[in-house]
Protein backbone atom coordinates (compact mmCIF):
# COMPACT_ATOMS: atom_id res chain seq x y z
CA UNK A 1 0.00 0.00 0.00
CA UNK A 2 1.53 3.40 -0.95
CA UNK A 3 2.12 5.55 2.13
CA UNK A 4 1.24 9.08 3.14
CA UNK A 5 4.12 11.54 3.73
CA UNK A 6 5.30 12.36 7.25
CA UNK A 7 4.40 15.94 6.51
CA UNK A 8 0.90 14.88 5.54
CA UNK A 9 0.54 12.89 8.71
CA UNK A 10 1.75 15.81 10.80
CA UNK A 11 -0.65 18.26 9.17
CA UNK A 12 -3.10 19.17 11.98
CA UNK A 13 -6.84 19.22 11.54
CA UNK A 14 -8.35 22.69 11.82
CA UNK A 15 -9.97 23.10 15.26
CA UNK A 16 -12.37 25.51 13.58
CA UNK A 17 -13.67 22.94 11.10
CA UNK A 18 -12.95 19.48 12.49
CA UNK A 19 -16.30 19.18 14.28
CA UNK A 20 -18.30 20.05 11.16
CA UNK A 21 -19.51 16.41 10.60
CA UNK A 22 -20.94 16.40 14.15
CA UNK A 23 -22.71 19.70 13.47
CA UNK A 24 -24.10 18.31 10.22
CA UNK A 25 -25.38 15.21 12.06
CA UNK A 26 -27.02 17.43 14.69
CA UNK A 27 -28.75 19.41 11.94
CA UNK A 28 -29.97 16.17 10.32
CA UNK A 29 -31.54 15.28 13.68
CA UNK A 30 -33.40 18.60 13.50
CA UNK A 31 -31.23 20.46 16.04
CA UNK A 32 -30.50 24.11 15.31
CA UNK A 33 -26.76 24.85 15.61
CA UNK A 34 -25.47 28.34 16.40
CA UNK A 35 -22.08 28.66 14.70
CA UNK A 36 -19.70 30.37 17.09
CA UNK A 37 -16.82 28.30 15.75
CA UNK A 38 -15.89 30.17 12.58
CA UNK A 39 -15.12 33.77 11.64
CA UNK A 40 -17.79 33.82 8.94
CA UNK A 41 -19.55 37.14 9.49
CA UNK A 42 -23.28 37.46 8.77
CA UNK A 43 -22.62 41.07 7.71
CA UNK A 44 -23.69 41.91 4.15
CA UNK A 45 -20.95 42.19 1.51
CA UNK A 46 -20.86 45.78 0.11
CA UNK A 47 -23.34 45.94 -2.79
CA UNK A 48 -20.76 47.77 -4.90
CA UNK A 49 -18.56 44.64 -4.89
CA UNK A 50 -21.39 42.26 -5.78
CA UNK A 51 -22.62 44.59 -8.55
CA UNK A 52 -19.14 44.81 -10.08
CA UNK A 53 -19.22 41.06 -10.68
CA UNK A 54 -22.86 40.97 -11.77
CA UNK A 55 -22.57 43.86 -14.21
CA UNK A 56 -19.26 43.13 -15.88
CA UNK A 57 -19.14 42.08 -19.51
CA UNK A 58 -16.28 39.58 -19.54
CA UNK A 59 -16.58 37.12 -22.42
CA UNK A 60 -13.45 35.10 -21.67
CA UNK A 61 -12.77 34.47 -18.01
CA UNK A 62 -9.01 34.58 -18.44
CA UNK A 63 -6.02 34.37 -16.09
CA UNK A 64 -4.80 37.65 -14.67
CA UNK A 65 -1.20 38.61 -13.97
CA UNK A 66 0.39 36.40 -11.34
CA UNK A 67 0.94 39.37 -9.02
CA UNK A 68 -2.66 40.50 -9.48
CA UNK A 69 -4.16 42.97 -11.91
CA UNK A 70 -2.34 46.29 -12.24
CA UNK A 71 -5.44 48.40 -11.58
CA UNK A 72 -6.31 46.44 -8.46
CA UNK A 73 -2.78 46.68 -7.04
CA UNK A 74 -2.71 50.43 -7.71
CA UNK A 75 -5.99 50.80 -5.84
CA UNK A 76 -4.80 48.66 -2.95
CA UNK A 77 -1.73 50.90 -2.66
CA UNK A 78 -4.07 53.93 -2.49
CA UNK A 79 -6.05 52.23 0.28
CA UNK A 80 -2.85 51.69 2.28
CA UNK A 81 -1.91 55.34 1.86
CA UNK A 82 -5.17 56.25 3.62
CA UNK A 83 -3.88 54.14 6.55
CA UNK A 84 -0.48 55.91 6.55
CA UNK A 85 1.16 52.84 5.05
CA UNK A 86 3.23 54.21 2.21
CA UNK A 87 3.58 51.49 -0.40
CA UNK A 88 3.21 51.25 -4.16
CA UNK A 89 1.70 48.62 -6.47
CA UNK A 90 5.18 47.06 -6.90
CA UNK A 91 5.22 46.22 -3.19
CA UNK A 92 2.03 44.13 -3.43
CA UNK A 93 1.28 40.60 -4.61
CA UNK A 94 -2.39 39.65 -4.77
CA UNK A 95 -3.02 36.15 -3.44
CA UNK A 96 -5.84 33.65 -3.13
CA UNK A 97 -6.81 34.78 0.36
CA UNK A 98 -4.62 35.70 3.28
CA UNK A 99 -4.07 31.94 3.54
CA UNK A 100 -2.04 31.82 0.35
CA UNK A 101 -0.23 35.02 1.39
CA UNK A 102 0.91 33.18 4.53
CA UNK A 103 2.03 30.12 2.56
CA UNK A 104 3.96 32.18 -0.02
CA UNK A 105 5.58 34.25 2.74
CA UNK A 106 6.68 31.18 4.68
CA UNK A 107 7.99 29.64 1.44
CA UNK A 108 9.83 32.82 0.48
CA UNK A 109 11.71 33.42 3.73
CA UNK A 110 12.10 30.05 5.46
CA UNK A 111 13.58 26.64 4.76
CA UNK A 112 12.60 23.32 6.32
CA UNK A 113 13.95 23.25 9.86
CA UNK A 114 13.84 27.04 10.34
CA UNK A 115 12.01 28.54 13.31
CA UNK A 116 9.38 31.23 13.63
CA UNK A 117 8.42 32.85 16.93
CA UNK A 118 4.68 33.44 17.40
CA UNK A 119 2.80 34.74 20.45
CA UNK A 120 0.46 31.98 21.54
CA UNK A 121 -2.50 31.40 21.34
CA UNK A 122 -2.42 32.17 17.62
CA UNK A 123 -4.59 31.70 14.53
CA UNK A 124 -4.85 27.91 14.35
CA UNK A 125 -3.92 27.59 10.70
CA UNK A 126 -0.43 28.96 11.44
CA UNK A 127 0.13 25.42 12.75
CA UNK A 128 -1.03 23.98 9.42
CA UNK A 129 0.98 26.38 7.26
CA UNK A 130 4.09 25.73 9.35
CA UNK A 131 3.65 21.97 9.04
CA UNK A 132 3.17 22.35 5.28
CA UNK A 133 6.38 24.40 5.06
CA UNK A 134 8.39 22.12 7.36
CA UNK A 135 9.12 24.97 9.78
CA UNK A 136 8.92 24.93 13.56
CA UNK A 137 6.79 27.32 15.57
CA UNK A 138 8.50 28.53 18.73
CA UNK A 139 5.67 29.92 20.86
CA UNK A 140 5.96 32.81 23.25
CA UNK A 141 3.13 32.40 25.70
CA UNK A 142 0.59 35.15 26.36
CA UNK A 143 -1.90 34.60 29.14
CA UNK A 144 -5.62 35.10 29.63
CA UNK A 145 -4.88 36.55 33.12
CA UNK A 146 -2.99 39.44 31.43
CA UNK A 147 -5.63 39.89 28.72
CA UNK A 148 -3.13 38.25 26.33
CA UNK A 149 -0.73 41.22 26.40
CA UNK A 150 2.60 40.71 24.65
CA UNK A 151 5.08 38.97 26.95
CA UNK A 152 8.17 40.95 27.99
CA UNK A 153 10.52 41.54 25.09
CA UNK A 154 13.25 39.58 26.91
CA UNK A 155 10.98 36.52 26.53
CA UNK A 156 11.27 36.86 22.75
CA UNK A 157 15.02 37.35 22.84
CA UNK A 158 15.48 34.22 24.94
CA UNK A 159 13.84 32.18 22.18
CA UNK A 160 16.00 33.40 19.30
CA UNK A 161 18.38 30.75 17.93
CA UNK A 162 20.52 30.61 14.76
CA UNK A 163 17.50 28.95 13.09
CA UNK A 164 15.07 31.79 13.89
CA UNK A 165 13.99 33.60 10.73
CA UNK A 166 10.94 35.60 11.75
CA UNK A 167 8.50 36.77 14.37
CA UNK A 168 4.83 36.58 13.38
CA UNK A 169 2.10 38.57 15.07
CA UNK A 170 -1.59 38.83 14.34
CA UNK A 171 -2.79 42.38 14.93
CA UNK A 172 -5.53 42.69 16.05
CA UNK A 173 -5.39 39.10 17.14
CA UNK A 174 -7.36 36.06 16.24
CA UNK A 175 -8.20 34.32 18.63
CA UNK A 176 -7.47 36.78 21.47
CA UNK A 177 -8.73 40.12 20.13
CA UNK A 178 -5.49 41.64 21.42
CA UNK A 179 -4.40 44.92 19.80
CA UNK A 180 -0.67 45.69 19.87
CA UNK A 181 0.29 49.20 20.95
CA UNK A 182 2.68 51.39 18.98
CA UNK A 183 5.21 50.87 21.77
CA UNK A 184 4.94 47.09 21.48
CA UNK A 185 5.46 47.26 17.70
CA UNK A 186 8.48 49.49 18.28
CA UNK A 187 9.97 46.98 20.70
CA UNK A 188 9.41 44.15 18.22
CA UNK A 189 10.96 46.33 15.50
CA UNK A 190 14.06 46.80 17.64
CA UNK A 191 14.43 43.03 18.17
CA UNK A 192 14.03 42.07 14.51
CA UNK A 193 16.53 44.73 13.50
CA UNK A 194 19.02 43.68 16.16
CA UNK A 195 18.82 39.99 15.21
CA UNK A 196 18.21 40.54 11.49
CA UNK A 197 14.83 38.77 11.36
CA UNK A 198 11.63 39.34 9.44
CA UNK A 199 8.60 40.73 11.24
CA UNK A 200 5.38 39.39 9.70
CA UNK A 201 2.13 41.02 10.74
CA UNK A 202 -1.17 39.41 9.86
CA UNK A 203 -3.35 42.51 9.70
CA UNK A 204 -6.49 41.02 8.17
CA UNK A 205 -8.58 42.54 11.00
CA UNK A 206 -7.01 46.04 10.69
CA UNK A 207 -10.41 47.82 10.52
CA UNK A 208 -11.86 45.95 13.51
CA UNK A 209 -10.51 48.02 16.37
CA UNK A 210 -12.72 49.22 19.23
CA UNK A 211 -12.97 51.61 22.19
CA UNK A 212 -11.44 54.59 20.36
CA UNK A 213 -8.12 52.76 19.96
CA UNK A 214 -6.22 52.89 16.70
CA UNK A 215 -4.27 50.34 14.74
CA UNK A 216 -0.54 50.80 14.25
CA UNK A 217 0.85 48.84 11.31
CA UNK A 218 4.39 47.48 11.17
CA UNK A 219 4.80 49.31 7.86
CA UNK A 220 4.16 52.64 9.59
CA UNK A 221 7.36 52.11 11.54
CA UNK A 222 10.22 53.89 9.80
CA UNK A 223 13.38 51.90 9.27
CA UNK A 224 11.57 48.55 9.22
CA UNK A 225 11.15 48.45 5.44
CA UNK A 226 13.53 45.51 4.83
CA UNK A 227 12.08 43.44 7.68
CA UNK A 228 8.32 44.02 7.53
CA UNK A 229 5.85 41.81 5.67
CA UNK A 230 2.10 42.38 5.93
CA UNK A 231 -0.46 39.64 5.34
CA UNK A 232 -3.83 41.00 4.29
CA UNK A 233 -7.23 39.85 3.06
CA UNK A 234 -10.62 41.12 1.90
CA UNK A 235 -12.38 38.23 3.67
CA UNK A 236 -13.31 39.97 6.91
CA UNK A 237 -12.94 43.63 5.90
CA UNK A 238 -15.79 43.43 3.40
CA UNK A 239 -17.38 40.19 4.61
CA UNK A 240 -16.11 38.58 1.41
CA UNK A 241 -14.69 35.31 2.76
CA UNK A 242 -15.75 33.41 -0.35
CA UNK A 243 -13.96 35.76 -2.74
CA UNK A 244 -10.62 34.22 -1.73
CA UNK A 245 -8.54 37.35 -2.17
CA UNK A 246 -5.68 38.62 -0.05
CA UNK A 247 -2.22 40.05 -0.53
CA UNK A 248 1.38 40.20 0.63
CA UNK A 249 2.83 43.67 1.15
CA UNK A 250 6.52 44.37 1.63
CA UNK A 251 9.04 47.07 0.76
CA UNK A 252 11.68 44.32 0.63
CA UNK A 253 12.18 43.74 -3.11
CA UNK A 254 13.73 40.31 -2.63
CA UNK A 255 10.71 39.12 -0.66
CA UNK A 256 8.30 40.35 -3.34
CA UNK A 257 10.42 38.94 -6.19
CA UNK A 258 10.54 35.55 -4.47
CA UNK A 259 6.84 35.50 -3.58
CA UNK A 260 6.16 36.32 -7.23
CA UNK A 261 7.82 33.04 -8.25
CA UNK A 262 5.40 31.15 -6.01
CA UNK A 263 2.59 33.24 -7.49
CA UNK A 264 3.70 32.41 -11.03
CA UNK A 265 3.68 28.70 -10.22
CA UNK A 266 -0.01 28.88 -9.32
CA UNK A 267 -0.60 31.15 -12.36
CA UNK A 268 -2.95 33.84 -11.02
CA UNK A 269 -5.42 34.84 -8.31
CA UNK A 270 -9.12 34.50 -9.22
CA UNK A 271 -10.26 37.03 -11.82
CA UNK A 272 -13.87 37.66 -10.73
CA UNK A 273 -12.80 38.00 -7.13
CA UNK A 274 -10.23 40.66 -8.04
CA UNK A 275 -13.00 42.61 -9.77
CA UNK A 276 -15.06 42.37 -6.59
CA UNK A 277 -12.05 43.26 -4.43
CA UNK A 278 -11.22 46.29 -6.55
CA UNK A 279 -14.80 47.56 -6.41
CA UNK A 280 -14.96 46.91 -2.66
CA UNK A 281 -12.21 49.48 -2.17
CA UNK A 282 -14.82 52.15 -2.97
CA UNK A 283 -16.96 51.06 -0.03
CA UNK A 284 -18.05 54.21 1.82
CA UNK A 285 -16.73 54.83 5.34
CA UNK A 286 -20.26 54.66 6.76
CA UNK A 287 -20.33 50.91 5.95
CA UNK A 288 -17.38 50.40 8.29
CA UNK A 289 -18.80 52.76 10.92
CA UNK A 290 -21.99 50.70 11.01
CA UNK A 291 -20.15 47.37 11.03
CA UNK A 292 -17.82 48.46 13.84
CA UNK A 293 -20.77 49.73 15.91
CA UNK A 294 -22.43 46.34 15.40
CA UNK A 295 -19.33 44.37 16.44
CA UNK A 296 -18.83 46.51 19.56
CA UNK A 297 -22.45 45.85 20.54
CA UNK A 298 -22.00 42.13 19.91
CA UNK A 299 -18.75 42.02 21.86
CA UNK A 300 -20.25 43.86 24.81
CA UNK A 301 -23.33 41.64 24.79
CA UNK A 302 -21.30 38.45 24.55
CA UNK A 303 -18.70 39.38 27.19
CA UNK A 304 -21.41 40.72 29.53
CA UNK A 305 -23.41 37.49 29.27
CA UNK A 306 -20.35 35.25 29.62
CA UNK A 307 -19.18 37.11 32.73
CA UNK A 308 -22.46 36.20 34.42
CA UNK A 309 -21.51 32.50 34.32
CA UNK A 310 -19.66 31.30 37.40
CA UNK A 311 -16.29 29.60 36.95
CA UNK A 312 -15.68 31.01 33.49
CA UNK A 313 -12.85 33.41 32.50
CA UNK A 314 -12.86 35.64 29.45
CA UNK A 315 -10.53 38.42 28.29
CA UNK A 316 -12.18 41.47 26.72
CA UNK A 317 -11.09 41.78 23.08
CA UNK A 318 -9.95 45.18 21.80
CA UNK A 319 -10.24 44.19 18.16
CA UNK A 320 -11.16 41.47 15.62
CA UNK A 321 -14.25 39.42 16.55
CA UNK A 322 -13.13 36.52 18.67
CA UNK A 323 -12.52 35.74 22.30
CA UNK A 324 -10.93 32.94 24.21
CA UNK A 325 -13.06 31.58 27.03
CA UNK A 326 -11.68 29.41 29.81
CA UNK A 327 -14.26 26.86 30.95
CA UNK A 328 -14.64 24.80 34.11
CA UNK A 329 -14.10 21.60 32.09
CA UNK A 330 -11.02 19.39 31.73
CA UNK A 331 -11.23 18.71 28.02
CA UNK A 332 -12.79 21.40 25.84
CA UNK A 333 -12.40 19.17 22.76
CA UNK A 334 -14.65 16.59 24.35
CA UNK A 335 -17.06 19.24 25.61
CA UNK A 336 -17.33 20.83 22.13
CA UNK A 337 -18.11 17.47 20.52
CA UNK A 338 -20.55 16.58 23.30
CA UNK A 339 -22.40 19.86 22.68
CA UNK A 340 -23.11 18.68 19.15
CA UNK A 341 -23.63 14.98 19.76
CA UNK A 342 -25.36 14.71 23.10
CA UNK A 343 -26.76 18.05 24.16
CA UNK A 344 -29.50 20.43 23.11
CA UNK A 345 -31.65 23.00 24.82
CA UNK A 346 -35.13 22.96 23.29
CA UNK A 347 -33.59 21.52 20.15
CA UNK A 348 -30.82 24.13 19.90
CA UNK A 349 -27.10 23.86 20.52
CA UNK A 350 -23.84 25.69 19.81
CA UNK A 351 -20.71 24.87 17.87
CA UNK A 352 -17.48 26.29 19.31
CA UNK A 353 -13.81 25.88 18.41
CA UNK A 354 -11.78 24.00 21.06
CA UNK A 355 -8.77 26.23 21.78
CA UNK A 356 -5.98 23.64 22.10
CA UNK A 357 -5.50 23.86 18.33
CA UNK A 358 -4.68 27.57 18.72
CA UNK A 359 -1.58 26.65 20.73
CA UNK A 360 1.52 24.74 19.72
CA UNK A 361 2.54 24.04 23.33
CA UNK A 362 1.22 20.61 24.27
CA UNK A 363 -1.35 20.82 27.08
CA UNK A 364 -2.17 24.52 26.78
CA UNK A 365 -5.67 25.69 25.97
CA UNK A 366 -7.22 22.31 26.74
CA UNK A 367 -9.89 23.91 28.95
CA UNK A 368 -10.50 26.83 26.58
CA UNK A 369 -12.70 27.48 23.58
CA UNK A 370 -12.71 30.25 20.98
CA UNK A 371 -15.97 32.05 20.30
CA UNK A 372 -16.48 34.14 17.16
CA UNK A 373 -19.03 36.90 17.77
CA UNK A 374 -20.20 36.94 14.20
CA UNK A 375 -23.88 36.36 15.01
CA UNK A 376 -26.51 38.94 15.91
CA UNK A 377 -27.06 39.91 19.56
CA UNK A 378 -30.22 37.83 20.03
CA UNK A 379 -28.42 34.71 18.79
CA UNK A 380 -25.40 35.48 20.98
CA UNK A 381 -27.58 35.81 24.09
CA UNK A 382 -29.31 32.54 23.25
CA UNK A 383 -25.93 30.88 22.59
CA UNK A 384 -24.59 31.88 26.02
CA UNK A 385 -27.81 30.60 27.60
CA UNK A 386 -27.18 27.26 25.88
CA UNK A 387 -23.54 27.29 27.03
CA UNK A 388 -24.59 27.99 30.62
CA UNK A 389 -27.13 25.19 30.65
CA UNK A 390 -24.67 22.82 28.95
CA UNK A 391 -22.00 23.53 31.58
CA UNK A 392 -24.40 22.73 34.37
CA UNK A 393 -25.37 19.43 32.69
CA UNK A 394 -21.90 18.32 31.51
CA UNK A 395 -20.24 15.94 33.90
CA UNK A 396 -17.17 14.53 32.10
C1 LIG B 1 -5.74 35.81 11.41
C2 LIG B 1 -6.15 35.29 10.09
N3 LIG B 1 -5.26 35.29 9.10
C4 LIG B 1 -5.57 34.80 7.89
C5 LIG B 1 -6.82 34.27 7.65
C6 LIG B 1 -7.08 33.72 6.30
O7 LIG B 1 -8.09 34.38 5.67
P8 LIG B 1 -8.45 34.24 4.13
O9 LIG B 1 -7.64 33.15 3.55
O10 LIG B 1 -9.92 34.00 4.08
O11 LIG B 1 -8.08 35.56 3.55
C12 LIG B 1 -7.78 34.25 8.65
C13 LIG B 1 -9.11 33.66 8.44
O14 LIG B 1 -9.91 33.50 9.32
C15 LIG B 1 -7.43 34.77 9.91
O16 LIG B 1 -8.30 34.78 10.93
Instruction: Give 317-339 pLDDT, tens digit per residue.
Output: 999 999 999 999 999 999 999 99
Q: How far apart are CA 182 and CA 278, in angstroms?
A: 30
Give the pairing of strands 368-372 and 322-326: antiparallel
205 C-alpha to center of ligand 1: Å? 9
CB 202 within 8 A of CB 231: yes
Q: Which residues have C-beta within 8 Å of that of residue 41, sequence separation ≥ 6?
A: 236, 239, 241, 321, 374
Distances (CA, A) of 146 to 26, 168, 176, 317, 351: 37, 20, 11, 12, 27
Q: Which of 105, 118, 125, 239 to mutate to test the pocket of ligand 1 (most atoms within 8 A of CB)?
A: 125
For residue 235 and ligand 1, the question of a CB distance below 6 A is answered with: yes
Helices 97-109 and 125-133: crossing angle in degrees, nearest 10, is 40
Is ligand 1 within 6 A of the CB of residue 359?
no
Identify the segments of the chain with pLDDT beneath 50: none
CA dist 230 and 250 (Å) reads 6
Distance between Cα 29 and ligand 1 center (Å): 31
At 74, which helix (H) or strand (E)? helix 70-82
96 lines ligand 1 (CB under 6 A): no
Top mutation candidate among 16, 68, 99 for ligand 1, by most atoms within 8 Å of CB: 99
pLDDT of residue 155: 86
CB 367 within 8 A of CB 352: no
Contacts of 356 (CB under 8 A, 6+ apart): 15, 332, 333, 364, 365, 366, 368
Asked whether 326 lines ligand 1 (CB < 6 A), one says no
Instruction: With beta carbons less than 8 A apart as the criterion, state whether 183 and 133 touch.
Output: no
Give the distance (Å) from ligand 1 centre to CA of residue 176: 14
Contact 53, 276 (CB under 8 A): yes
Q: Is 99 in the pocket of ligand 1 (CB under 6 A)?
A: yes
- Distance, CA of 386 to CA of 347 (rounded, Å): 10
Residue 233, ligand 1, Cβ within 6 A: yes
Rounded distance from Cα 204 to ligand 1 centre (Å): 7
Predicted pLDDT at 149: 87
Quick check: CB of 123 below 6 Å from ligand 1?
yes
Cis peptide before 121 (omega within 30 of 0): yes
Return the pLDDT at 79: 97
Question: What residue's CA is closest to ligand 1, atom 7?
Answer: 98
- Please tell me the distance from the alpha carbon of residue 370 to that of residue 45, in angstroms, as a whole number: 24
Amino acid sequence: MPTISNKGQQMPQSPIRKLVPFAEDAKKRGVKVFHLNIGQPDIKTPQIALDAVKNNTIEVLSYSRSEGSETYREKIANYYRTKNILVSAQDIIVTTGGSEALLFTFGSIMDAGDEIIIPEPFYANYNGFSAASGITIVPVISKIENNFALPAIEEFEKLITPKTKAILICNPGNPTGYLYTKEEIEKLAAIVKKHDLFLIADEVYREFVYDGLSHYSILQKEGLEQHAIIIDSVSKRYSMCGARIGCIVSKNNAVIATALKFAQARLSPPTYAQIAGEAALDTPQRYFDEVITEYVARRDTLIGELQKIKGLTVAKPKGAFYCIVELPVKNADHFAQWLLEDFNLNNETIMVAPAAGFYSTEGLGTNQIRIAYVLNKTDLIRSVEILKEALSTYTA
